[in-house]
């Protein structure tokens, strides 16, 4: 099992490979879609115990209808697929994306499908959780943030401020503060029980980080699938009706009905 030092090192190296500052917050979804052009991300409501799932090296895009396109290049591609539970908070969704990236990019796991349950505490899931935490907020990033802001005591307001800065979930932030010995175990337990959305609003911040996807975002998709459908249509490999059907299957009615 990889230790925390190694996992933080992997997170820092990935940031550097992607030309990202190891100390700063990152717009994870935009960066990932830019750096991994073969990735499709699906947002879908799942059970409370499931945070997400991923599929490695799909034999083409894993939708039966797309096989009708007859594109030989698709079969030899290295498509990747991540599904994120849209019932969870936006902060948790960012964490899940980083978690699934560990499975896809760094883990030597031969399974085609990896379903990640919140109750699963095997080595693979622990490593992925630790990596996700460090990718969103590296060890050095948190230490530098505390030093730059002269933080010797971490009030709830200061914790929320840091969460908003790094765009990290409340529970993940508390875990890291305890790990760095910025707060005690008792303080961590107490702070976990606060109504974090209300606390953010009363301190003048947005609560978007702490709430699930809106109704219009519960079913949604981003990434290669959309481009592949559009390319097949532009190359006259599918009809406009088929294009709309495939996009609707991917919960993108905004692209079929030209909503703006």
Q: What is the largest CA-CA distance in the chain?
A: 63
Mean pLDDT of 39-46: 96
Reply yes or no on whether the pLDDT at 225 is more than 50: yes
Compare 108 and 153 and report the one with higher pLDDT: 153
Q: Which of 43, 50, 51, 73 is nearest to 61 (CA)?
A: 73
Q: Sorting pLDDT into bands at 50, 70 and 90, what band is 246? A: very high
Mean pLDDT of 220-244: 96
| Residues 220 and 252 sit within 8 Å (Cβ to Cβ) | yes
Task: Please state the pTM of the whole predicted model.
Answer: 0.89
Query: With pLDDT > 70 as the criterion, what percentage of the chain qualifies?
Result: 90
Structural domain boundaries, residue 205: 4-256
DSSP label at residue 203:
T
Reply yes or no on whether the pLDDT at 43 is more than 70: yes
Task: For the sheet with 220-223, list strands across it.
Answer: 113-117, 50-58, 79-85, 39-44, 220-223
Reply yes or no on whether the pLDDT at 257 is more than 80: no
Reply yes or no on whether the pLDDT at 260 is more than 70: no
Number of domains within the chain: 1
């Amino acid at each position: 099992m990889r230790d925390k030092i190694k996992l933080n090192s992997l997170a820092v190296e990935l940031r550097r490979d992607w030309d990202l500052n190891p100390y700063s917050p990152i717009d994870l979804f935009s960066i990932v879609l830019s750096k991994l052009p073969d990735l499709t991300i699906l947002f879908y409501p799942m059970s409370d115990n499931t945070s997400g799932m991923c599929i490695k090296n799909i034999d083409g895009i894993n939708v039966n209808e797309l096989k009708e396109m007859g594109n030989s290049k698709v079969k030899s591609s290295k498509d990747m697929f991540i599904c994120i539970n849209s019932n969870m908070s936006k902060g948790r969704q960012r964490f899940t994306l980083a978690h699934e990236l560990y499975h896809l990019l760094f883990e030597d796991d031969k399974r085609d499908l990896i379903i990640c349950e919140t109750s699963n505490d095997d080595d693979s899931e622990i490593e992925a959780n630790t990596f996700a935490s460090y990718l969103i907020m590296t060890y050095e990033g948190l230490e530098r943030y505390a030093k730059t802001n002269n933080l010797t005591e971490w009030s709830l307001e200061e914790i929320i401020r840091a969460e908003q800065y790094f765009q990290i979930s409340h529970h993940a932030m508390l875990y890291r503060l305890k790990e760095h010995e910025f707060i005690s175990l008792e303080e961590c337990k107490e702070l976990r029980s606060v109504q974090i959305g209300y606390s953010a609003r009363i301190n003048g911040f947005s609560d978007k980080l702490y709430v699930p996807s809106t109704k219009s975002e519960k079913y949604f998709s981003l990434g290669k699938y959309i481009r592949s459908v559009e390319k097949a249509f532009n190359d006259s490999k599918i009809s406009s009706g088929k294009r709309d059907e495939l996009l609707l299957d991917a919960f993108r009615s905004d692209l079929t009905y030209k909503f703006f």
